Amino acid sequence: MDTIRTQFATELKAVQTVKDVEALKVRYLGKKGLVAEQMKRLKDVSDEERPQYGKKVNDLRLEIEGALEKKLHSLESDELAKRLEAEHIDITLPGRSRFVGAAHPVTHGMEEMLKIFSDLGFSIQVGPEVDTDYYNFEVLNFPPDHPARDMQDTFYIEPGMLLRTHTSTIQARFLEQSVPPVRIVCPGRCFRNETISSRSHVFFHQIEGLCVDVGISMQDLVWTLTEFVQRLFGRDVSVRFRPSYFPFVEPGLELDISCFLCSGKGCALCKKTGWLEILGAGMIHPQVLKNVGIDPEKYTGFAWGMGIERSVMLRSGMKDIRELSENDMRFLKQFRTC
C-alpha cells in the first residue's frame, strides 16, 4: 500500500488537466482499480488483522479521493482564470466608430443654392456636359469668329462638338421647348481649357438661372439676385451691380457683394477692394429669344450664371480650388456639414 501511495503521489504531480485527474481516479479508485485490488485481499487476511487492514485500505482510498478532489479544484480554478484572461474585455477601450459619409462641399454648396432658388419658385433643369457649338455659343449670340468666344477657352471633341464651357447651354435647350412663364435654375459641370492654378481649374460647377415672362424687367433681376445673395451670405452684405458684357444679354452686368470678412473695409479675401465678385447676369438679348422662337416683343427675361466653387471657397475660407477635386479626405472632412 505504501508503494501505491508513493506511486500515486508521483503520478499526481504529473497531472495537468481535468482529464488526467479522471484517468487517475479510474486507475486508483475504479472498480478494478489499485485500491479495489487491495480491498479484495481482505478475505485472505487473518481475522485479527482484518479490521486494521480494512481501515488501512479505507484510509488510502480516502486519502487518494481527497487528493484528487483537491487537484480537480485547483485545475478548475486555473482553467477558469485562464479563460477569463483570454476572454478579457477591456470596457475602457474607445469604441470603434463607424465612418459616416457626407456630401462633398461643392455638392453641399450647390444644394444650398438650389434650395434658395427653389424656395423662390424656380425649378431645376439639367443638360448634357458634351454639347454642340450651337447651344454653347451660336444660339447665345456668339457668332463664329466672334471675339467673345475667346473669353472661354474651349475643349473641342470634334468640329461642332465640345465640352460645355458654361451651363448657359441649358437656356436655349429649355426655352426652345417651352412657352413662358419660365423660371429655372440649371446646375452642372463645365469645362475650360485653362491653366490649372489655385484660382482656376479645367472643370468647375455653375448654376445658370433664367426667368422669362411678360413684363419681366431689370427690377425683377435686381430683387431676385439680391434676395439670393443675402439668403446665402447673410442679410448684412450689400450688393452692387456693375455693367459688363456677355453676348447673350443686354444690358449685361456683374454682381458684387460687400466683403463679408472685412465688411467692405478691404482685406486679403477681397484684395483690398471691399467687394467680392459673385455672378454675371443680364436681360436676355432679344436675338437669343428670337433664336429659340420666343417673341421678344411680348416676352422679356433675365438670366444669370455663377460659379459654385467660388462661393463655396469664399464662405469656407478655402484658398485653393484644386483641393475641391483632389479628394483628400483629410481636407474634405474639415468641411463636413452633416
Other CB atoms closer than 10 Å to residue 191's CB: what's the count?
Answer: 20
In whole angstroms, give the CA distance from residue 270 to residue 18. 82
Q: Is 246 a binder of ligand DAH (CB under 6 A)?
A: yes
The single residue among 64, 221, 249, 270 that binds ligand DAH, judged by CB under 6 A, is 249
Among the listed ranges 84-92, 110-118, 122-130, 301-309, the one in contact with ligand DAH (CB under 6 A) is: 301-309
Enter the DSSP assignment of 99. P
Q: Is 301 a binder of ligand DAH (CB under 6 A)?
A: no
In whole angstroms, give the CA distance from residue 231 to residue 252. 23
Q: Is 8 a binder of ligand DAH (CB under 6 A)?
A: no
Q: Is 256 a binder of ligand DAH (CB under 6 A)?
A: no
Q: Which residues pair with 244 in a beta bridge?
A: 252
Other CB atoms closer than 10 Å to residue 273's CB: what's the count?
Answer: 13
Q: Is 282 a binder of ligand DAH (CB under 6 A)?
A: yes
Give, in degrees to the nearest 5, the angle at Cα 301 between 296 and 307.
135
The residues, any chain, with a CB within 8 Å of residue 253's CB and separated by 6 or more, are 241, 242, 243, 244, 280, 281, 282
Name the residue whose CB lies closest to ligand DAH. 305
| Nearer residue to ligand DAH within complex by CB, 35 or 229 | 229
Q: Is 308 a binder of ligand DAH (CB under 6 A)?
A: no
Site size with ligand DAH, rule: CB under 6 A = 11
How far apart are CB 119 and ligand DAH at their closest, in Å?
20
Q: Contact at 8 Å (CB) between 190 and 165?
A: yes
Among the listed ranges 100-108, 274-282, 289-297, 328-336, the one in contact with ligand DAH (CB under 6 A) is: 274-282
In whole angstroms, give the CA distance from residue 309 to residue 189. 11
How far apart are CB 226 and ligand DAH at their closest, in Å?
16
How far apart are CB 262 and ligand DAH at their closest, in Å?
26
The single residue among 212, 304, 310, 311 that binds ligand DAH, judged by CB under 6 A, is 304
Q: Contact at 8 Å (CB) between 167 and 186?
A: yes
| Nearer residue to ligand DAH within complex by CB, 168 or 258 | 168
36 is written with which cell numbers?
A: 479495489
Which residues of this protein are in contact with ligand DAH, per CB under 6 A? 166, 168, 208, 246, 249, 280-282, 303-305
